[in-house]
């Protein structure tokens, strides 16, 4: 696997872990009633937002699998899965 692909995978995993952590914090704030109105209006910390994030991640996975020859073999799958960046 090329260094560029390894870097891409590593950075995507880091970004997705960060997004998941931020969503978890927003979800807890929402549950406890501490989100400001503007954040509630954006569906911050809701399952709807988590589902939207998961769909966006799967779309990125699909695009990358088309653009990067051999990525499916490296990741062990021919299509995006939860383990490759679905909702965490």
What domain count does the chain have? Answer: 1
Domain-embedded: residue 80: no
Helix residue ranges per DSSP H, 1-88: 3-31, 37-41, 47-67, 71-75
Q: Is residue 10 part of a domain?
A: yes
Answer whether residue 26 is part of any domain: yes
Whether 80 contacts 62, CB under 8 Å: yes
**pLDDT 10s digits, 31-67:** 999 999 999 999 999 999 999 999 999 999 889 888 8
Could you tell me the sign of the dihedral formed by the alpha carbons of 34, 39, 43, 45, in that order? negative
In a domain, 31, yes or no: yes
82 assigned to some structural domain:
no
pTM attached to this predicted model: 0.72
Per the structure, the complete domain to which residue 12 belongs is given by 3-74
In a domain, 21, yes or no: yes
In this structure, is residue 64 part of a structural domain? yes
In a domain, 47, yes or no: yes
């Amino acid at each position: 696997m090329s260094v560029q692909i390894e870097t891409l995978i590593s950075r995507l995993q880091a970004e997705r872990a960060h997004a998941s952590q931020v969503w978890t914090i927003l979800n807890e704030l929402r549950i406890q009633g501490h989100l400001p109105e503007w954040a509630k209006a954006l569906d911050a910390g809701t399952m709807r937002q988590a589902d939207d994030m998961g769909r966006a991640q799967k779309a990125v996975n699909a695009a990358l699998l088309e653009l990067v020859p051999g990525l499916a073999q490296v990741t062990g799958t021919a299509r995006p899965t939860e383990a490759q960046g679905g909702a965490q």
